[in-house]
A = this chain, B = another copy of it.
Amino acid sequence: MPQYTPPLRDMQFLMQEVLGLPARFAQLPAYADVDTGTMDAILEEAGKFAVEVVQPLNLSGDAEGCTRNPADSSVTTPKGFKEAYAKYVEGGWAALSCDSAYGGQGLPFVLNQCLYEMLNSANQAWAMYPGLSHGAYEALHVYGSDEQKKLYLPKLTSGEWTGTMCLTEPHCGTDLGLLRTKAEPQADGSYKITGNKIFISAGEHDMTDNIVHLVLARLPDAPKGSKGISLFLVPKFLVNADGSLGARNPISCSGLEHKMGIHGNATAQIAIDGAVGSLVGQPNKGLQAMFVMMNAARLGVANQSLGLMAVAYENALAYAKDRLQMRSLSGTKAKDLPADPIIVHPDVRRMLLTAKAYSEGGRAMMIATSALVDEELNHPDEAVRKAHAAQVALLTPILKAFLTDKGFEVTVLCQQVFGGHGYIHETGMEQLVRDARINMIYEGTNGIQALDLLGRKVLGDQGAALKALGKLVQGLVEEEGVNERMADFINPLAQLAGQMTGITTELGLKALQNPDEVGAAATDYLCVMGHLVMGYWWARMAQTALRALAEGDVADKTFYEGKLQTARFYFARLFPEAGLRVRTMRTGSKLLMNTDAALA
């Protein structure tokens, strides 16, 4: 069975040493009381919870899966899932970064993300049950009426109830404009909802008394397409004014999907048969409200792959030190053993270092972006809030697609380190690959993320958000440009950053003549931006490590030297992918579109 050690040291390194979050959060009135000691203590407890309660259920949950009982459409989650969830609620974890007005602890979002990285490492399928609730919480927190907030937010905050996002229908996923679920206004101000949804994660389960479904549907007079979609709150059990549960609402699980992975999560087909719902936000503005959930969910998905990378790396590293096979090409290393541990082989190290570089680089991207979210929500200066919101909007598709693509690559490499044993269920490595695969697809496929990035977030605002990112990189380049010990990191970063303005302008001009140029370049463009952002953070981590080592008598020397070795590996062997992608990005749309004979 896989092992897992929470990466507390690395999280502290990032939050305290690289990002200086204590000083930054001191400027936010909402977090005035949040001290470093508290955050450390919470992360330590969160790690224990992940290791002791959640991780032991990962392999067994995958093997067992969820079961639907046809008699009453109820769903039984794998053995132990329900009890683990009860402990999660009991421990107050659901409330961590929720609004104290509804019973939350009001702690930073970045802390919640760290909690979730660990839960995802331990058991992605399980973590999705509480994880999706948080998205529903966010949407209601922003768009819910006072009554909706009063009735539902305390229960979502405590974790007593969970939430879902009911978007997809059999004929529409990406293209929500095609959706058919109907909402008919009733005399009492409520709505009667009818339709069929599919792929609803955590759509039905036995963990809580109630489930709060947020459902996209169409009003009778709604305009066609995506401008005619409204959002409705449709609880599994109706809720009385005093908060007690009323009648069972006819919104139920009509089937469970047979999936490649995340078997422990109930991916439900949901039949809605005249269920009672209430409107969330304005009529026909449902997509806007849904995007609040969606953007949070996209960062959440990136965080899932981050968690999977971390646990895959830890296990591959342990296996590579333990498994004896062949001798080192450069001479026997373990004379007393019948063969050398496979970590002596350069190609095994290549796989391990790739996993480490993407895991720790990904963690830096995630924690840095999550800290921006905290400032976006809580900074006293509106200009800062706005600027950070634009940066988060730019970074969200990058993190979602880049970290889930690399996350899949990393789980596959770590599985490869195990050889044939990686293909067997018992080692847990093949499950990580299967689980990681969905992250490239759901909450908007990675192709859609790329279009969102290039079309909307970059070209859509004439490159303003991109320029702000470029300034950040430029700042580091100017700061460290003369430092020889940083040259391996700063030179390639400066070169790529210098190219991006020109390339983006070029793409923008091409796109004016032919919008397909955006689609043809978008996936490569996102990958290049992913390396630019990750390269920036690896350079920042190297800078911090060099400074720490320069102080002489360092307790944690191996940690900092390891950071430098990994940074060097990243820039020499992984970062150059950006150059290849710049090249293929510029091959243009005709190469793809003038292919009717090939695709006949």
Tell me whether B330 and A599 are in contact (CB under 8 A). Answer: no
Which residues 114-140 of A sit at the B interface, judged by CB distance below 8 A?
Answer: none
Answer yes or no: A247 CB below 8 A from chain B CBs: no
Q: How far, in Å, is A287 (CB) from chain B's closest CB?
A: 14
Q: Which residue of B lies closest to A588 (CB)?
A: B572
CA distance A433 to B433 in the complex (A): 10
Tell me whether B565 and A594 are in contact (CB under 8 A). Answer: yes
Contacts of A37 in B (CB 8 A): none
Tell me whether A349 and B569 are in contact (CB under 8 A). Answer: no
**Candidates B329, B346, B576; contact of A584 at CB < 8 Å:** B576
CA distance A452 to B206 in the complex (A): 53
Answer yes or no: A487 CB below 8 A from chain B CBs: no
Tell me whether A514 and B330 are in contact (CB under 8 A). Answer: yes
Tell me whether B347 and A450 are in contact (CB under 8 A). Answer: yes
Answer yes or no: A592 CB below 8 A from chain B CBs: yes
Which residues 43-98 of A sit at the B interface, judged by CB distance below 8 A?
Answer: 63
**Candidates B173, B349, B447; contact of A595 at CB < 8 Å:** B349
Q: Which residue of B lies closest to A320 (CB)?
A: B599
CA distance A349 to B260 in the complex (A): 24
Known: A260-B433, A424-B257, A514-B330. A598 touches B566 (CB 8 A): yes
Interface residues on A, range: 35 or more
Answer yes or no: A171 CB below 8 A from chain B CBs: yes
Known: A353-B592, A576-B584, A584-B573. A424 touches B598 (CB 8 A): no
Tell me whether A516 and B434 are in contact (CB under 8 A). Answer: no
Q: Pick the interface stretch among A15-23, A436-444, A477-485.
A: A436-444
Q: How far, in Å, is A253 (CB) from chain B's closest CB?
A: 16
Answer yes or no: A476 CB below 8 A from chain B CBs: no
Tell me whether A416 and B434 are in contact (CB under 8 A). Answer: no
Q: Give 1 or 0 for each of A506-540: 1 = CB within 8 Å of chain B CB.
A: 00000000111011101100000000000000000
Answer yes or no: A339 CB below 8 A from chain B CBs: yes
Answer yes or no: A430 CB below 8 A from chain B CBs: yes
Answer yes or no: A174 CB below 8 A from chain B CBs: yes
Tell me whether B420 and A593 are in contact (CB under 8 A). Answer: no
**Candidates B562, B564, B580; contact of A576 at CB < 8 Å:** B580
Tell me whether A174 and B516 are in contact (CB under 8 A). Answer: no
Contacts of A597 in B (CB 8 A): 557-559, 561-562, 564-565
Tell me whether A419 and B441 are in contact (CB under 8 A). Answer: yes
Which residues 170-224 of A sit at the B interface, judged by CB distance below 8 A?
Answer: 171-175, 177-178, 198-199
Answer yes or no: A5 CB below 8 A from chain B CBs: no
Answer yes or no: A350 CB below 8 A from chain B CBs: yes
CA distance A326 to B177 in the complex (A): 8
Contacts of A261 in B (CB 8 A): 423
CA distance A580 to B600 in the complex (A): 32
Which residues 563-587 of A sit at the B interface, judged by CB distance below 8 A?
Answer: 563-566, 568-569, 572-573, 576-577, 579-580, 583-584, 587
Tell me whether A259 and B518 are in contact (CB under 8 A). Answer: no
Tell me whether B516 and A346 are in contact (CB under 8 A). Answer: yes
CA distance A408 to B411 in the complex (A): 14
Contacts of A317 in B (CB 8 A): 599
Answer yes or no: A30 CB below 8 A from chain B CBs: no
CA distance A178 to B325 in the complex (A): 8
Contacts of A600 in B (CB 8 A): 558, 562
Answer yes or no: A461 CB below 8 A from chain B CBs: no
CA distance A260 to B431 in the complex (A): 8
Answer yes or no: A502 CB below 8 A from chain B CBs: no
Answer yes or no: A168 CB below 8 A from chain B CBs: yes
Q: Which residue of B lies closest to A565 (CB)?
A: B598
CA distance A595 to B408 in the complex (A): 24
Contacts of A249 in B (CB 8 A): none
Answer yes or no: A361 CB below 8 A from chain B CBs: no
**Candidates B198, B420, B520; contact of A346 at CB < 8 Å:** B520
Q: How far, in Å, is A488 (CB) from chain B's closest CB?
A: 10
Tell me whether B174 and A419 are in contact (CB under 8 A). Answer: yes
- If A175-B326, A330-B514, A416-B446 are given as contacts, then 20 extra A-B residue pairs at C-beta distance below 8 Å, sorted by A number, are A171-B324, A172-B325, A174-B325, A259-B424, A328-B516, A329-B518, A346-B589, A347-B447, A347-B451, A347-B519, A347-B523, A348-B447, A349-B599, A350-B520, A356-B599, A419-B445, A420-B442, A559-B597, A565-B595, A569-B598
The 7 A-B residue pairs with the shortest CB-CB distance, nearest first, are A346-B519, A561-B597, A260-B430, A329-B515, A346-B520, A258-B425, A562-B598
